[in-house]
Amino acid sequence: MSDLLHKLPPCEISTSCLSYDKCPMSHYHVPLQSPRPQRRTYTHICLPLVILSSILTFSWVLVDLFQTTPRHAGIVHTAEVTSNETCHWCIIEVGEEQKQWPAVGYDLTESYGTATIKFPSGEIIYIGPIEGDDNYKNAMHKLSLESSKHTAPPYNWYWDAPGGPFAGTYDYPRRQWRSWRKYWGLPATHEVGAISTLLTSLIASSSAAILARNSSQDATKAVITTPDLLALYDEDIYDVAEYAGLNASGAHPFRASYFPDTVLSTPRYERQPKYIDAAYMGYGFGLCSPYQSDNNCQTNDTGMRYSNVLTVYISRRAVDIEHGSWKNYAYTRMLDYQQHASFFDDTLGLDDRTSGNEDGGEDEAAYWQRLRALLLSCMHPMSSQNNVSHVFLVGEKAKEERVEMEVREAISQRPQVYVPRVYKENAVFGPSRGAAEMAARILWFPEDCGFDEPVKGRKLCRKD
């Protein structure tokens, strides 16, 4: 996607490029590809499809005309911009008002939610956990099933089959149906509506906590982290945020293509973090401490070693296992493949270890055996030469001693040069804390220093 953006013609650098909403929209959206050429032998099939497509296209135009989103352009100002840069990469300076906004991170688990609020003064407040209702839990369960995956991936990214030159065409009717529902004030899907109820409660509690600190701001500019469910796509998270009332417009000059401007993102933090990203930052890793200094951040980045991270989320109802590697400080990227494997299992919650057997004997032994098998299947794709260096345990049941013991036992069955350190001190709020750290770096500074693809001669952060 970034390659496509760099090929866009540059904007004319003038007062018309002083805010995100005034930049030509072609610089923020990748145009859909042309539909599949029609074959004469299938005219009786294709003609109704062409008519249906025309109707949907006309409806989309109507929705686009009547659906507007106000943007507060006065908060973000441009700084030095060279003539060869596009509006998509305009350099910004953060206004004094935005520097006072609290950074909020929300964590939506499979059954409950938490929030972390970080103030510019350094004060941190934790909200929750707040238990989701039955509709919320049923929606998250449905989105974890293989049967809930879309026939065509959302927006049909090029590498998602059936992608290629017709990427996006197959998914068009589904997207139009979501747009119609949103236009009439309905959630994009029933699952989006169910999940938004818990997020709405978290926003209300967080806004009340901010108001109690004599702040005039609210908790509507935030980052959201979730477990990596098979059918919980990025578009669902953005639509949940929109229906719950989050609004990131005016807070930054960048948003991920296709999606509404509801949650915070930058070119470095492009995707809303999953647990492996959020826990990594929540426990203090991957964060450049002198992040107001471009030079210091770049120096720190070059000296970092590979970190092979294993994140284990465990609650009363489910387990989610994620792994990944970094050789610099944390970042998130929009996936080229929205359909991918997931190691989430809602039959492995700690409440399942004694189900059907009061004394917990054989049934509990079988439970721990299944947990070890899931851990090993998740770690198998990792190279045997790469040690697991960090293990983050998160979730309401992550501090159970047996959980750490079983995780260590599974890791010991792989080639390891040294024993990894296990972190579980802030298990319940670790992911939301990481999301709040990500939000702080988006809100309070123009862009993250040390960005791995800087424009030549561009000042990413203020120098010391």
Residue 138 forms part of a structural domain: yes
Minimal CA–CA distance to 382: which of 308, 311, 275, 304? Answer: 308
The confidence score (pLDDT) of residue 154 equals: 63
Q: Is there a single domain that holds both residue 44 and residue 170?
A: no
Q: Is there a single domain that holds both residue 72 and residue 113?
A: no
Q: Is there a single domain that holds both residue 68 and residue 188?
A: no
Q: Is there a single domain that holds both residue 52 and residue 103?
A: no
300: pLDDT strictly greater than 70: no
Categorise residue 442: left if φ over 0, alpha if ψ from -120 to 50, beta otherwise. Answer: alpha
**How many domains, in total, are found in the chain?**
2
Q: Is there a single domain that holds both residue 108 and residue 131?
A: yes
Residue 454 forms part of a structural domain: no
Residue 451 forms part of a structural domain: no
Task: Phi first, then psi: give them for residue 308, nearest 5 degrees.
Answer: -100, 115
Q: Is there a single domain that holds both residue 174 and residue 114?
A: yes
Strongest mean pLDDT among 303-307, 310-314, 346-350? 310-314
The parent domain of residue 270 ranges over 89-443
Q: What is the pLDDT of residues 423-457, one digit of tens each?
A: 999 999 999 999 999 888 888 765 444 444 444 43
Minimal CA–CA distance to 344: which of 136, 142, 113? Answer: 142
Q: Is there a single domain that holds both residue 313 and residue 225?
A: yes
Q: Is there a single domain that holds both residue 83 and residue 99?
A: no
Domain boundary among 88, 118, 143: 88
Q: Is there a single domain that holds both residue 364 and residue 374?
A: yes
User: Who contacts 60 (Cβ-Cβ below 8 Å, separation ≥6)?
Assistant: 176, 179
The confidence score (pLDDT) of residue 249 equals: 75
Q: Is there a single domain that holds both residue 84 and residue 113?
A: no
Q: What is the pLDDT of residues 317-344, one digit of tens each?
A: 999 998 877 766 666 766 655 556 678 8
Mean pLDDT of 154-172: 62
41: pLDDT strictly greater than 70: no
86: pLDDT strictly greater than 70: no
> Between the CA atoms of 183, 189, 190 and 192, what dihedral angle is there, to the nearest 10 degrees?
-100
Q: What is the pLDDT of residues 366-407, one digit of tens each?
A: 889 899 888 888 876 555 556 788 899 999 999 888 999 999
Both structure tokens of 157: 């990214």
Q: Is there a single domain that holds both residue 254 and residue 139?
A: yes
Higher pLDDT, 176 or 169: 176
The confidence score (pLDDT) of residue 12 equals: 37
The confidence score (pLDDT) of residue 359 equals: 53
Mean pLDDT of 217-234: 90
Mean pLDDT of 105-110: 95
